Amino acid sequence: MIKPTVIQTAAWGAVIGVVTLAIALLLMRTGSLGLIAALLFAAFGGALVALFTSQWREMSITDDGTGLYNRRFLFKRLSIVFHQAHKEEQPLSLAVIDIDGFRDINNKYGHLAGDQTLLKVAQTLRASLREGDIVGRWGGEEFALIFPGTKLNDAVILCESIRSQIEEQRFKISEHDTVSVTISVGVAGLRQGDTTIEELIQRADKSMYEAKKLRNRVAFNPSPLQ
């Protein structure tokens, strides 16, 4: 579902484009000076439309609560790198992350504290990734990490480092309160027999649920190819 803010941004961009065109056409009828003014005005209007278009695209792929990519964009990117990895016979790994005991934070401190916790975890995830890695909000208190060109064992090591970083931090959620959280991580690597991204996602999900049994763990489903 498209967010109202995205609709508003796209609408304003369209309005500016139409108004700019209409005024430019009127100015062109007033002679050579009008033509120059029309060109300048059209350039200005074009810049505004480009700005609104850029903002619209950014808002359409970004999660409001964390500033990370949203689930829709993650699926699109995963599909692209999945087919590219198959074509080029390159490794690909996917991690699904769940914040342990997130409901307890909401119940004890309130939903605003929960939102702050999500934001702090998101910031840690973003700061921990390498160039080319992709992170986004999977939904609720879950995140996903896409590791193009990365073998399963290497992705597990990266996720273990992230898990340790988050465990060692205390997140400020209000003027007087801080919380410490842990995460459970499931990691899966691409296999030659995978024909859809759903197979990769299902293995990562399954591993994440295995990690949740003990909490604060990184679990993975070994691949015979990695």
Which of 99, 78, 95, 97 is closest to 221 using CA atoms? 95
Q: Which helix (H) or strand (E) holds 7?
A: helix 4-28
Note whether 147 and 93 are within 8 A (CB). yes
Which of 132, 148, 122 is closest to 68 using CA atoms? 122
Which of 157, 159, 131 is closest to 144 using CA atoms? 159
Which of 139, 140, 156 is closest to 95 using CA atoms? 156
Is residue 160 part of the annotated active site? The answer reads no
Which of 24, 28, 29 is closest to 41 using CA atoms? 24
- Written as one string, the DSSP assignment of 197-216 is HHHHHHHHHHHHHHHHTTSS
Which of 194, 168, 162, 196 is closest to 181 using CA atoms? 168
Q: How many CB atoms lie within 10 A of CB 95?
A: 27
Q: Residues 89, 131, 141, 199: which is the catalytic one? A: 141
Which of 25, 17, 22 is closest to 45 using CA atoms? 17
Catalytic residues: 141
